[in-house]
Structures are given as C-alpha cells and as structure tokens.
Structure 1
C-alpha cells in the first residue's frame, strides 16, 4: 500500500460531515416516494417493453457476465485505511457482475461504454443496513467506470433517470434531439427555476460522455462515485485493474460495431485464457470543501488524497458460461448491503435505497427467491477455481 500514513491529521470524520449532509428532509422524503413509484412502474413494464418476457433491473439491465472472484484483505495496511471489514486480513469468496449501466437491453453500441462492476463478498460478519435482510452474510460494492455520478439530489435524480430512459428517442432526432436533451437536462424538462438549473449535473453528464471510452472491462477502473463511511473516516472506494493483468488482455481494442454483443464475448474469451487481478483501494476525505459528501458530481482530487490499496480482487481462470442463468439473474446488489462502519453517505446514496424495492419487484415477477445466496457455489455451476 502507498499513500499517507495512519497519523495523517486532516482526515474528515463522520461527525464532521453531518452539517453539510443535511438537506430538506421533506423534499427528500417526497422525492424518494416519487422515485420508488417510478422504478416500480418501470420494472413492472419491463417484461413487455424490453421484449424478453422477464422483468429486468431498473438500471444496469444487461449483464455481460457473472464472474467468480476471491477478495484478499491485505495485512500491514495503515490504520486509517484498515477500517471496518478491511481491518481483518483474510480472504472472501465473491461474485462480480459486469453490466451495462443502461436501463435497457439491446446492442452494446446502442447502450454505450459505461460499465458497472457490482461485487458481492461472502462470509462477511455483522448486521447489514438493508431493511429486508439485515442478517445476510454478504457485503456488496456497487461500482461504475466513472468517478462521479450525474445527479446530486433526489429531485434531479428523478428527471435525469427519465431523460436517460429516453436517450434513444432524443438521439433519433439528430442534432435537434440532442439539443433538446441538453435543454431538458439543464432545466429539469422545464420544471426548474433558472436559479436552480442543473448546471453541475449537466457538466458531469457531458464530461462522463466525453471521457468514458470503450474499453475491455478487465482493463478498467470502477468507483463508488458517492462517498461512504470508512470506520472513523469518510471515503470513496474503487477497484483498479492491476497493470500487469490489464497488459495481458487478448482484446486490446473493442469495436461495438462488430455485433450486438461485444463486452460479454470478450469477457468469456479473456477469462477462459487467464486469471486477472484488481486492486481494491480507498481514498480518504481530507477537505470537505474540495471533497464534498453531497455533491456526487465532484471528483475528489487525488492530489489531496491518493487511493491506497487495502485488498486484491482475484478473478481465476474460468468459463463464465457455466453460471446458472436463473441464479445469476436473481442476484441483487445494493449499496446498503454493508455494515455500519461502511454506511453510504449523502442524499444520492439515500435515493439508491430504492434498489431494494426494484429487486423485490423484479424477483416477484420472475418467480425468483427473495433472499441472498449464501455462497458463490450456489450461483455458479462449477465450484472449482485455479
């Protein structure tokens, strides 16, 4: 591990962030109700609208692959970083779901280059913060290949989700449609006063669209985007492909125009050929103004606080086509399936509690069990690893 030592005097504490975290609780409660209604309706309509006859996730609808992994929590990590589950060196079996961030199914070229990396670790002790299964022994990290999110408030989240759901309709109208998309994004589809226009969200959207490149998923870096508690500190978490692993990929360049499915077949080829590794890293907050909790459109500067490696995520060589399709589809990932030492922070993380309701509706429609798996072997057909 590299970076500041555990005696660094300026790490932000969970107590320090309480004041800037507060916003109008009535507006947040109303916004959450609207968002839950929106997601329930969307997931309920998805069997017909997505054309597959099955309910799909309200976000990250298309799976590229479900991968067996092992997470090693490292020893000799500086104390400020060895917090919560990272304080005890050891190994955990895990599953990783690579997915498109789009809320639709379809060709990869249409869905775009933003990729999700959702990881479920097994045999993690402690009460979890999800309401439905507090005694589950799983622990989730829900990451994406972008360091920032594209909404800061529940109010903005709702209209941005709706615009994102209709991106194809906007772009089908060419330049005129694209201009309308930007105008609707900025003004909340005409609902916002000019003083409250979503400038930060629009800039984050444009930056993400401009900077997110089509990459082999095994060469990427994936962030929490929003902040989380890290024991006595505030943090963001990411996984980053180890340079040596990334250099060994077969598919160095992906062309999404080569067919409807590009990311998934590339994952199959890579993991049949060799193992891959990611570093599990933590960035601690050192300045609440430069590294805000609520403004998820702001990237925390690494010059103020570098990411420090606390673990290694190992993906063994494997055939990911052997996963049980029904069990893999039933997996649910939630930012709140963590212990209190890693509590999600800020308004957008509160908004993302709706993942539980989305998973419940989806599983109900698909006649899937409403529970967490107890092991990777329960989901995958072949338990062996190399």
Structure 2
C-alpha cells in the first residue's frame, strides 16, 4: 500500500466502464489503496430508483420514457456527492458507466467542473463484449434484464485503459503508476553495485503488456477443450507445450498446440510496451541484449511486431530448447549465443517460472510487477515499471543498473 506522502494532496479518480466490466470492484480497490471516499453511481442512486413503482415511471427506470431525465438526475447526484467528498477528504474515487462523458462534450465538462480544482484521471475498464455479457448474466442483478444493449465506447478524452480480463491486482498494478503512485526503490540494493555484460529479457509481461491477451487466448482455449483455467493461472510463464501436457491427453497435443497458437497470434493486436520497457530495451546495445521467451516463434514475433519492437539477433524461443522455463536452459542458451558468462547477465522477468530459471542459470534478476503478486517475485530487485531504473556504461565498459 502506498504511503500517504506518495498520494497527491488533491486527487480525483474516475472509473468508467460498461456493466459487467468490473469497474465497481476496481474502483473499490483503488479507493481502499488510496484511502479515499468511494462514490459509486449505483450506491448513490439505484436504491431510490428501485423503490419507485414502475407505474410512476411508465416502465423500469432504465427503459422508462423518462430515461434521459433519470440519467441526468442520477449523474447530477453523483457529481454533487463526489464534489462534497473531494472537498472534505481531498481525494475521491468515482465509479459509473460514464458512457456520455467518455465522448467529451457537455457531460464531460460538467464532471470536470464538479471535480475542480482536481483534474480527473479517468480509468476505462474495457474487454471482450462476450465476457462482459456473460458476467452480467451470471451476477443476477435484476436491472440487467432491463438494460439496453449499448455499443462499445471509444473514448475521445485521455484515459488509462485496463482490460477486464485482468485480475483486480493486475489492474491496480497498471493504474497506480499512471496516477504517479510508484513502488519505492531500494537505492542500496546489491544489484546496483554489480556490472553486467548483457541483458536477457523475457517477453510477455516484461517487454510487451500482453497479459490480458494471454489470459483471453487461454480462456478461449479452455472453453474450446473443456479444461480448467485454474491450472493455467498456476503455471504462468511456462511453455504452451507444458500446459497442454498437463491438461490434455497425448493424442490431442498437436491439435491443441496448433489451436492455441492460432488464438494467440490472432489476438496479438494493439499490444503496448510495458511501462518504460521500450526505452530501457533500446538503451541496451544491440549486441548485448537478447529476448528469452516461453512462446513459440509465431506468437513471440506477432507480439513483438504489435508492440513496435525490432527482433534482436539473439531470440531464444521455446522452439530452441529441450527444456523450457523454469529450467535454466533458455537463459544459458541466450548467454552462450551472446558469448557472455551467465553470471554476468541481468535477466528482466515478470513470472516466477522465469525467475527460477534465471537464478538456476546464475543470472541476476530484475523483476516487474503486473502479472503475479509481489510476494512471488523472488528477485534481486522488484520494480513497477522499467522507467524506475536505467542502464549506464561503467568505466570498465560493462553495464550497470541505476535508479532512474
């Protein structure tokens, strides 16, 4: 949890998203983390509206002929409550669909005015429409039966977008740094005294923010083959062939690997670099860096291209080794191809399996939050983004890691 001194004196966080996106869950988690009042549209207005007889409104309040006026009143109440919370507490987290507000215009202007002088930071929770519809169906809220279908909103205002496919902890790991609330760096960590000849990067969750894409692809895989998602979550960072071997009989392995490869390559669209990763990767001389991934060549190549990276000369995939992570072979292979000793390599990872592999290879490990819990990251240093550190060239010509 951040210390009070990290949180701005005046802070307004707006969490937007369609029904079923998980915006209320995320909004509550942000409010608890920031120790801020939570103002949720449903809590502020829904009990009153549900208590009104439908004959008074002409139908359920979501489909009433008076729906436009009801919406205007709901959001006016929300803005007034949020303004009071901000004025008295200095911070507030406001949760609602905000469909009109995301498009800018008068509704957005009214929200900005209500939260002044704080500048609202908007977090937009979005995801696969089929998943959101399934969540609405399973939660059993009576109002969902009256909720009209709405087209996805493409925000025209600045937002931090988080995928509904991610866990709340994974979403928080992306939202807090965007608010300027960062994990404290131990400037006295031993890793800052070491020198390195090369940097070996994991790909997914380390260079490319592909966590939601991976989860979405394997969820679809699990639905197709009727297997458990629990085993998939427990084995993040391991090769697909390992996961398939755990989940399906041998006679289905070839079919399953082809299917999940197609799913992951198809979903590798619009992926972004992890915070600070593009600059950090580019700062390593080309002849002294490698990517070491549990993905196959087609999947890894698709994700690299989607996030705008150039493929390095040393590119170790699951197709290059007999034993994938957590075995040290992938990192030992990369060090050998670069012509450096593994003990002189810095590995950048986000998954426990990768960290175990790197340590077994004798490498130092810099770990990133955002995929697994911090407690699972047994690394030499843990950061919440690669913009928290940088590399510099020592007098010896070696690379040194320093706090940014």
* TM bucket normalised to smaller: under 0.3
Tell me the TM-score normalized by structure 1. 0.27
Rg larger in 1 or in 2?
A: 2
Q: Which has the bigger relative contact order, CA under 8 A and spacing at least 6?
A: 1
Tell me the TM-score normalized by structure 2. 0.26
